[in-house]
Amino acid sequence: MEVGLCLSFCNKRWKNPQALAEFVSSLGVRLVQFSWDLVDPWWKEEIRDELAKEYANAFRQRQIEITVSFSGMAAYAYSSLLSEDERVRKMGMTYLKRAIDMTAIMGIPALGTPAGCMESLEGLQNIGRKKAGIEVQDAGKENHGGYVKRGEVRKRLVDDLILLSRYAAQKGLKQLYLEPTPVQTEIPCTALEAKILMEQLSGKTQIPVGLVLDWGHVLCPSFNEEPADMNYWLSACKGYVGACHIQQCDGKMDRHWGFTGQGIVTPEMIRGVLGNPDASGIAHYLEYCPAFETPGEEVVKEIRNSVKYLQLI
């Protein structure tokens, strides 16, 4: 398994590019995913780009490849492309275009993010049921005077991603990624929905749009009777998965723990996934998200132990 590191652990701690790159280098990690929590795409372009390039240069000086520019914690909270408010969707597109600009400046070939979330209660309905691997038709119903179908929201998302891929291609990016989440108001939130979305995008985008699967997300209880199993997701989304986030969890909620403590992700489970032909060549990035209050020395210890744990599997 190729073990990479998502820089999700940096919040409230590392803001010095050289120090951060030196720490990652000491772990023997050669692949990282950059986080917009380190440099905000909304910042003034001149300062934003100068800071972003400092991070990119610090990692390259140590032969560490930044494979993806990823949304991070702050951007994850935004409604973005799934909002039912057109004003918010337009701002979401603007924000992602600015993130693409920053990613291009850093020389990173790909950008990844969740798509956002729906605000209305209708977003909780009509995810579709797993039935012999075939989509159950989306349905909608009135809600507070509104009529929103999940399928219609997904179609709008497809249209926006086609436009976004065109912009990303113009800026020199080679790939866009979406991250499925275990949140009912987000798209996609099931393997079936992820597969449908990828098929709807296939052949229509200027550059490919793929998936980043997260172990903690997949192992959460399913919304549509699908197995909470990484092998199932890899097979269902075969051909579309570009990377995985891996961390320890309890199978109840998306914990993003390190591997020092107990959880349900065992070496046997990981080996079982790595032996799946559909997992071949897919890098796994440790995505550890400690609480802000966690002492820095504890975070360093957890990352060192977790990276070593995964490298030995």
- Give residues with Cβ within 8 angstroms of 175, minimum separation 6: 109, 110, 111, 207, 208, 209, 210, 242
pLDDT digits (tens, 9 = 90+) for 61-104: 999 999 999 999 888 888 899 998 999 999 999 999 999 999 99
Q: How confident is the model at residue 146, as a pLDDT? A: 39
Q: Is the pTM of this model over 0.85?
A: yes
Mean pLDDT of 96-125: 88
Residue 213: closest CA among 196, 188, 184: 188
Give strand ranges (E) for the chain: 3-6, 31-35, 65-70, 110-113, 142-143, 146-147, 175-178, 209-214, 241-246, 283-286
133 pLDDT above the threshold of 80: no
CA angle 68, 73, 79 (to 5 degrees): 100
pLDDT digits (tens, 9 = 90+) for 140-179: 343 433 335 788 899 999 999 999 999 999 999 999 999 9
| 279-297 as b/e: b if 16+ CB within 10 A | beebbbbbbbbbeeeeeee
Mean pLDDT of 53-60: 98
Least confident piece of the model among 7-16, 54-63, 285-294: 7-16
Are 161 and 176 contacting, i.e. CB atoms less than 8 angstroms apart?
A: yes
Diameter of the chain measured on Cα atoms = 57
DSSP state of 138: P
Q: How confident is the model at residue 143, as a pLDDT? A: 41
Averaged pLDDT of the chain: 91
Pairing of strands 283-286, 241-246: parallel
Mean pLDDT of 199-220: 98
DSSP state of 123: G
Q: How confident is the model at residue 122, as a pLDDT? A: 55
Q: What is the dihedral of CA 154, 157, 161, 164, to 10 degrees?
A: 180
| 217-256 as b/e: b if 16+ CB within 10 A | bbbbebbeebebbbbbbbebbeebbbbbbbbbbbeeebbb
Phi first, then psi: give them for residue 169, nearest 5 degrees: -65, -40
302 pLDDT above the threshold of 70: yes
Q: With cut-offs at 50, 70 and 90, classify the pLDDT of residue 15.
A: confident
Mean pLDDT of 289-300: 95
Q: What's the gap between Cα 237 and its chain centre?
A: 15
First-to-last alpha carbon distance for the chain, in angstroms, is 8
**CATH number belonging to domain 3-311:** 3.20.20.150
Q: How far apart are CA 301 and CA 130, in angstroms?
A: 41
Q: How far apart are CA 53 and CA 66, in angstroms?
A: 12
Q: What percent of the chain has pLDDT over 90?
A: 81
The two three-digit tokens of residue 19, written as one number: 């120090």
DSSP state of 134: B
